[in-house]
Protein backbone atom coordinates (compact mmCIF):
# COMPACT_ATOMS: atom_id res chain seq x y z
CA UNK A 1 0.00 0.00 0.00
CA UNK A 2 1.22 3.49 -0.72
CA UNK A 3 1.88 5.06 2.61
CA UNK A 4 1.62 8.70 3.45
CA UNK A 5 2.41 10.14 6.80
CA UNK A 6 -0.42 10.64 9.22
CA UNK A 7 -1.91 14.03 8.50
CA UNK A 8 -3.54 16.00 11.22
CA UNK A 9 -5.68 19.11 11.09
CA UNK A 10 -6.91 19.95 14.54
CA UNK A 11 -8.83 16.83 15.57
CA UNK A 12 -8.85 15.30 12.08
CA UNK A 13 -6.28 12.59 11.36
CA UNK A 14 -5.84 10.43 8.27
CA UNK A 15 -4.01 7.12 8.17
CA UNK A 16 -3.70 4.19 5.77
CA UNK A 17 -6.18 1.38 6.47
CA UNK A 18 -4.96 -1.92 7.92
CA UNK A 19 -6.53 -5.38 7.51
CA UNK A 20 -7.88 -5.26 11.07
CA UNK A 21 -9.92 -2.15 10.14
CA UNK A 22 -12.27 -4.17 7.90
CA UNK A 23 -15.16 -4.39 10.36
CA UNK A 24 -14.94 -0.74 11.36
CA UNK A 25 -14.78 0.49 7.75
CA UNK A 26 -17.75 -1.70 6.85
CA UNK A 27 -19.83 -0.06 9.55
CA UNK A 28 -18.79 3.42 8.42
CA UNK A 29 -19.37 2.49 4.79
CA UNK A 30 -22.93 1.34 5.43
CA UNK A 31 -23.80 4.34 7.59
CA UNK A 32 -22.36 6.85 5.12
CA UNK A 33 -24.02 5.12 2.18
CA UNK A 34 -27.43 5.10 3.82
CA UNK A 35 -27.09 8.74 4.82
CA UNK A 36 -25.86 9.89 1.41
CA UNK A 37 -28.04 7.87 -0.91
CA UNK A 38 -31.45 7.58 0.76
CA UNK A 39 -33.81 9.05 -1.82
CA UNK A 40 -31.14 9.04 -4.53
CA UNK A 41 -30.88 5.28 -5.05
CA UNK A 42 -33.62 2.66 -5.10
CA UNK A 43 -34.43 1.48 -1.57
CA UNK A 44 -33.52 -2.11 -2.36
CA UNK A 45 -30.04 -1.09 -3.48
CA UNK A 46 -29.47 0.70 -0.20
CA UNK A 47 -30.93 -2.14 1.85
CA UNK A 48 -28.64 -4.61 0.10
CA UNK A 49 -25.57 -2.86 1.47
CA UNK A 50 -25.22 -4.49 4.85
CA UNK A 51 -22.35 -4.49 7.30
CA UNK A 52 -21.93 -8.24 6.83
CA UNK A 53 -21.62 -7.93 3.07
CA UNK A 54 -19.27 -4.99 3.26
CA UNK A 55 -17.10 -6.49 5.98
CA UNK A 56 -16.39 -9.50 3.82
CA UNK A 57 -15.60 -7.21 0.90
CA UNK A 58 -13.27 -4.93 2.91
CA UNK A 59 -11.54 -7.90 4.52
CA UNK A 60 -10.74 -9.15 1.05
CA UNK A 61 -9.58 -5.74 -0.20
CA UNK A 62 -7.35 -5.11 2.80
CA UNK A 63 -5.94 -8.59 3.13
CA UNK A 64 -4.28 -8.74 -0.25
CA UNK A 65 -0.77 -9.97 0.53
CA UNK A 66 0.90 -7.08 -1.22
CA UNK A 67 -1.63 -4.44 -2.16
CA UNK A 68 -0.43 -2.84 -5.36
CA UNK A 69 1.09 0.58 -5.12
CA UNK A 70 -1.77 1.84 -7.23
CA UNK A 71 -4.48 1.07 -4.69
CA UNK A 72 -4.57 2.61 -1.26
CA UNK A 73 -7.32 2.95 1.32
CA UNK A 74 -7.25 5.77 3.82
CA UNK A 75 -9.25 6.26 6.98
CA UNK A 76 -10.07 9.48 8.72
CA UNK A 77 -10.60 9.86 12.43
CA UNK A 78 -12.36 12.85 13.89
CA UNK A 79 -11.72 13.37 17.56
CA UNK A 80 -10.30 9.87 17.73
CA UNK A 81 -13.35 8.17 16.19
CA UNK A 82 -13.34 6.57 12.78
CA UNK A 83 -15.45 8.83 10.57
CA UNK A 84 -14.77 8.04 6.94
CA UNK A 85 -12.63 6.55 4.23
CA UNK A 86 -11.33 7.18 0.74
CA UNK A 87 -9.67 5.04 -1.90
CA UNK A 88 -7.11 5.86 -4.55
CA UNK A 89 -6.20 3.55 -7.41
CA UNK A 90 -5.11 3.42 -11.01
CA UNK A 91 -7.91 4.53 -13.29
CA UNK A 92 -10.35 1.68 -13.86
CA UNK A 93 -12.49 3.38 -16.46
CA UNK A 94 -11.48 3.04 -20.11
CA UNK A 95 -13.42 6.22 -20.80
CA UNK A 96 -11.20 8.25 -18.48
CA UNK A 97 -7.91 6.37 -18.74
CA UNK A 98 -6.50 8.49 -21.56
CA UNK A 99 -6.58 11.76 -19.65
CA UNK A 100 -6.81 10.74 -16.01
CA UNK A 101 -4.50 7.91 -15.04
CA UNK A 102 -5.47 7.92 -11.36
CA UNK A 103 -8.85 7.61 -9.69
CA UNK A 104 -10.20 8.63 -6.33
CA UNK A 105 -13.25 6.81 -4.94
CA UNK A 106 -15.32 8.57 -2.36
CA UNK A 107 -14.49 9.94 0.07
CA UNK A 108 -17.26 8.97 2.45
CA UNK A 109 -17.63 10.74 5.78
CA UNK A 110 -20.47 10.00 8.20
CA UNK A 111 -22.87 12.88 8.61
CA UNK A 112 -22.07 13.46 12.28
CA UNK A 113 -18.46 14.24 11.36
CA UNK A 114 -19.03 16.28 8.21
CA UNK A 115 -17.89 19.86 7.61
CA UNK A 116 -14.88 19.38 9.88
CA UNK A 117 -12.35 19.02 7.07
CA UNK A 118 -12.36 15.21 7.09
CA UNK A 119 -13.35 14.92 3.42
CA UNK A 120 -10.63 17.30 2.31
CA UNK A 121 -8.06 15.53 4.47
CA UNK A 122 -8.97 12.20 2.89
CA UNK A 123 -8.69 13.59 -0.63
CA UNK A 124 -5.37 15.24 0.22
CA UNK A 125 -3.93 11.94 1.44
CA UNK A 126 -5.43 9.90 -1.38
CA UNK A 127 -4.23 12.27 -4.09
CA UNK A 128 -0.78 12.54 -2.48
CA UNK A 129 -0.59 8.75 -2.46
CA UNK A 130 -1.44 8.64 -6.15
CA UNK A 131 1.13 11.32 -6.91
CA UNK A 132 3.73 9.43 -4.90
CA UNK A 133 3.38 6.36 -7.12
CA UNK A 134 3.58 8.37 -10.34
CA UNK A 135 0.05 9.29 -11.29
CA UNK A 136 -0.27 12.66 -12.94
CA UNK A 137 -3.99 13.29 -13.25
CA UNK A 138 -7.05 12.16 -11.36
CA UNK A 139 -10.65 11.39 -12.19
CA UNK A 140 -13.60 10.70 -9.90
CA UNK A 141 -17.07 9.34 -10.55
CA UNK A 142 -20.03 10.67 -8.62
CA UNK A 143 -23.75 9.99 -8.79
CA UNK A 144 -25.25 12.62 -11.06
CA UNK A 145 -27.94 13.46 -8.52
CA UNK A 146 -25.49 13.70 -5.60
CA UNK A 147 -25.44 17.48 -5.48
CA UNK A 148 -23.51 17.87 -2.19
CA UNK A 149 -20.88 15.40 -3.38
CA UNK A 150 -20.53 17.29 -6.65
CA UNK A 151 -20.19 20.64 -4.83
CA UNK A 152 -17.47 19.07 -2.69
CA UNK A 153 -15.51 17.90 -5.74
CA UNK A 154 -16.03 21.24 -7.51
CA UNK A 155 -14.80 23.02 -4.40
CA UNK A 156 -11.54 21.10 -4.76
CA UNK A 157 -11.16 22.34 -8.32
CA UNK A 158 -12.63 19.30 -10.06
CA UNK A 159 -13.91 19.98 -13.55
CA UNK A 160 -16.93 18.18 -14.91
CA UNK A 161 -15.68 16.03 -17.77
CA UNK A 162 -18.17 16.54 -20.54
CA UNK A 163 -19.27 13.42 -22.28
CA UNK A 164 -18.68 10.31 -20.24
CA UNK A 165 -21.46 9.12 -18.04
CA UNK A 166 -21.52 5.71 -16.43
CA UNK A 167 -24.82 3.90 -16.14
CA UNK A 168 -24.66 1.31 -13.38
CA UNK A 169 -27.01 -0.73 -11.24
CA UNK A 170 -28.89 -2.20 -14.20
CA UNK A 171 -29.61 1.22 -15.64
CA UNK A 172 -30.91 2.66 -12.39
CA UNK A 173 -28.15 5.13 -11.64
CA UNK A 174 -26.00 7.47 -13.65
CA UNK A 175 -22.63 8.79 -12.64
CA UNK A 176 -20.75 11.77 -14.02
CA UNK A 177 -17.01 12.25 -13.91
CA UNK A 178 -14.85 15.04 -12.53
CA UNK A 179 -11.21 15.46 -13.36
CA UNK A 180 -8.03 17.15 -12.25
CA UNK A 181 -5.35 17.36 -14.93
CA UNK A 182 -2.64 17.99 -12.33
CA UNK A 183 -2.71 15.75 -9.26
CA UNK A 184 -0.38 18.14 -7.43
CA UNK A 185 -3.02 20.87 -7.71
CA UNK A 186 -5.58 18.57 -6.18
CA UNK A 187 -3.24 17.78 -3.30
CA UNK A 188 -2.73 21.50 -2.74
CA UNK A 189 -6.44 22.30 -3.01
CA UNK A 190 -7.39 19.57 -0.55
CA UNK A 191 -4.61 20.18 1.95
CA UNK A 192 -6.51 20.58 5.19
CA UNK A 193 -7.14 24.15 6.17
CA UNK A 194 -6.34 24.99 9.77
CA UNK A 195 -9.34 24.47 12.07
CA UNK A 196 -10.01 25.86 15.50
CA UNK A 197 -10.82 23.75 18.56
CA UNK A 198 -14.48 23.47 17.54
CA UNK A 199 -13.59 22.19 14.10
CA UNK A 200 -14.43 25.43 12.33
CA UNK A 201 -12.11 26.81 9.70
CA UNK A 202 -9.64 28.99 11.51
CA UNK A 203 -9.78 32.69 10.61
CA UNK A 204 -6.95 33.96 8.43
CA UNK A 205 -3.98 35.43 10.31
CA UNK A 206 -4.22 39.16 10.97
CA UNK A 207 -2.78 41.36 8.28
CA UNK A 208 0.34 43.21 9.22
CA UNK A 209 1.89 46.34 7.87
Ligand X SMILES: CC(C)(COP(=O)(O)OP(=O)(O)OC[C@H]1O[C@@H](n2cnc3c(N)ncnc32)[C@H](O)[C@@H]1OP(=O)(O)O)[C@@H](O)C(=O)NCCC(=O)NCCS
Per the CB < 8 A criterion, the answer to whether 85 and 107 are in contact is: yes
Type and span of the H or E element at 103: strand 102-109
Q: What is the dihedral of CA 127, 33, 91, 115, to 10 degrees?
A: -20
**Length of the chain in residues, anyone?**
209
In the complex, the smallest distance separating the C-beta of residue 69 from ligand X, rounded to whole angstroms, is 23
Which residues of this protein are in contact with ligand X, per CB under 6 A?
32, 36, 106-109, 114-120, 142, 146, 148-149, 151-152, 155, 201
In the complex, the smallest distance separating the C-beta of residue 180 from ligand X, rounded to whole angstroms, is 14
> 134 vs 155, which CB is nearer to ligand X?
155
> 62 vs 109, which CB is nearer to ligand X?
109
In the complex, the smallest distance separating the C-beta of residue 65 from ligand X, rounded to whole angstroms, is 29
Radius of gyration of the chain from its Cα atoms, rounded to whole angstroms = 17
Neighbouring C-beta atoms of residue 130, cutoff 10 Å: 29
> 42 vs 148, which CB is nearer to ligand X?
148
In the complex, the smallest distance separating the C-beta of residue 4 from ligand X, rounded to whole angstroms, is 17
Amino acid sequence: MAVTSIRKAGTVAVRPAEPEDAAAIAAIHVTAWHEAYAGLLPDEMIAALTVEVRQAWWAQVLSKPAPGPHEAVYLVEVEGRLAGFGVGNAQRSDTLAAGFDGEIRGPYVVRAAQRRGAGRALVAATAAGLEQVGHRAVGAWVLRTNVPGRRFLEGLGGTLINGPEAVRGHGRLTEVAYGWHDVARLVAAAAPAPRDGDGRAAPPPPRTG
